[in-house]
């Protein structure tokens, strides 16, 4: 992180986002907002990494079945892992992503615009909720998640060109 005014957050574009071919659209929404991408990877998550991401704390809060389903979903295909940087980027990103249950997500959010599945439907079918995206919920969680998915040397510190131009005018 560059200074105490900016923060970083982790975003995972899940296999259903890749299956739908909307990764570029989702990333574009963050770029248009003006936050910086400082880390970007395409990978298939190892199960042990997914288990660390969806850790025992999740199991205590939501139950073993939910945790196992989330691990199964995140390891079912390729994911895009991003680190975004900006002012209040954790809160702003969470607002952009929308409610965890796509059916409840407001129009204009990523989940509200691109997904519609309900918890009830997923439970009835015995499947996970296809909600396209994960975003860190707090600074503490963001730090843990970024360190899980990225080595420090994989993050790139940069100043966007438009910022450089305004600084020198």
DSSP 155: S
Selected catalytic residue, list 53, 116, 134, 168: 134
Residues 6+ apart with CB under 8 A from 78: 15, 18, 42, 43, 44
Burial label for 97, CB within 10 Å (0-12, 13-18, 19+), is buried
CA distance 105 to 90: 17
- For 122, other C-beta atoms within 10 Å of its C-beta total 17
Let me know if 53 is a catalytic residue: no
Residues acting as catalytic residues: 134
């Amino acid at each position: 992180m560059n200074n105490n005014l900016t923060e970083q957050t982790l975003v995972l574009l899940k296999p259903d986002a890749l299956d739908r071919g909307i990764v570029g659209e989702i990333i574009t929404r963050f770029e248009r907002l003006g936050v910086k991408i400082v880390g970007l990877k395409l990978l298939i998550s190892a199960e042990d990494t997914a288990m660390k991401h969806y850790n025992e704390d999740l199991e205590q809060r939501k139950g073993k079945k939910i945790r196992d389903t989330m691990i199964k979903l995140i390891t079912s295909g390729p994911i895009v892992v991003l680190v975004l940087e900006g002012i209040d980027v954790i809160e702003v990103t969470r607002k952009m992503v929308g409610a965890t249950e796509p059916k409840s997500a407001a129009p204009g959010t990523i989940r509200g615009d691109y997904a519609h599945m309900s918890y009830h439907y997923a439970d009835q079918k015995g499947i996970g909720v296809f909600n396209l995206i994960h975003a860190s919920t707090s600074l503490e969680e963001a730090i843990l998640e970024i360190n899980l998915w990225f080595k420090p040397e994989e993050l790139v510190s940069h100043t966007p060109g438009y910022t450089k131009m305004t600084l020198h005018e």
